[in-house]
A = this chain, B = another copy of it.
């Protein structure tokens, strides 16, 4: 896991170099303007999908849905997906459910795009177009470099569909920001020491950063076995905040943008309830600082790397093997 995390700046740099060709390919598939988009994914890919869900609706101006694969794999629903862009995400390209769902949607009229780490996989062969991540084999069970590359691939799709809320130059800086986080492991070690005996954990974000909160919770749960749960700020307030007691550990993620003020209010509220809130942000006093200047639309990718660092440090401190958590396997047949 540590080795694959360390590869991320280089892998992201290679992906960003292919920007123009990749955006042209997506444009050729999805032009003229689509009725809407549907994202098909599971697990870590589903959280990269949540990032894509916000980003693509912002950019395309048309509704974006996260697919319910069982409608296609189990229920054989009779559907009409004409006018929709279907984006299927599977790092292996071999998750049978994702493949079947994309095939079903394409047969129903969707324009199908695969985002996968294996350009020769069944998913890539079935899709009308493929964005191949090319980040090399991922051997640790907790996905790291495939997650950040998938998120970067969604940034590419966004840039292809409209005016992205980040510049081409900012996208080119992404590898450097990720490297800056990886070169600064101390904050994650300090926070891991504080969380060493945690028996539960909540991760919270809003808007674009919601996806990073979901992925942080999954990574921590997978590697440390702490029952961690990811929430949007709005959903947390609308009920589950009742479980917050003095000392309850919370990871709160935010970036400069429309969701920041609300997140800061929530952090104050949580601290008022006695929660131990660790902030992941580009602000003074953040437990896990993010580099200055990262635009909100790219910040979730950098924040996910901070969460990886914390998951790794906490797993080691708890004497667990982060590379092969008990009970998990890499390709899941559902």
- A258 contacts chain B at the CB level, 8 A cutoff: yes
Of the 9-residue stretches A113-121, A184-192, A277-285, A323-331, which lies at the interface with chain B? A323-331
- Render A214-248 as a binary contact track against B, CB cut-off 8 A, 1 for contact: 00001001100101010011110111111110000
- A68 contacts chain B at the CB level, 8 A cutoff: yes
- Inter-chain contact A235/B43, CB cutoff 8 Å: yes
- Inter-chain contact B259/A74, CB cutoff 8 Å: yes
Q: How many residues of A contact B (CB 8 A)?
A: 65
Q: How far is the CB of A200 from chain B (nearest CB, A)?
A: 5
- A276 contacts chain B at the CB level, 8 A cutoff: no
Q: Which residues of chain A in 99-120 are interfacial with respect to chain B, using CB atoms and an 8 Å cutoff?
A: none
A233 to B242, CA, bound (A): 26
Q: How many copies does the complex hold?
A: 2
- A177 contacts chain B at the CB level, 8 A cutoff: no
- A84 contacts chain B at the CB level, 8 A cutoff: yes
Given known contacts A61-B78, A83-B35, A206-B70, is B229 in contact with A242 (CB within 8 Å)? no
- A126 contacts chain B at the CB level, 8 A cutoff: no
Name the B residues within 8 Å of A291 (CB-CB): none
Of the 9-residue stretches A24-32, A52-60, A149-157, A298-306, which lies at the interface with chain B? A52-60
- Inter-chain contact A54/B35, CB cutoff 8 Å: no
Interface core residue of A54, A65, A69, A258 (most chain B CB under 10 Å):
A65
A-B CB contact pairs (8 Å), 28 listed: A36-B36, A36-B65, A42-B234, A43-B239, A57-B77, A57-B79, A61-B78, A63-B84, A69-B234, A70-B210, A70-B234, A70-B259, A74-B258, A74-B259, A75-B207, A75-B259, A76-B258, A97-B234, A200-B227, A222-B239, A222-B242, A225-B242, A227-B243, A234-B332, A234-B334, A242-B326, A244-B327, A262-B334
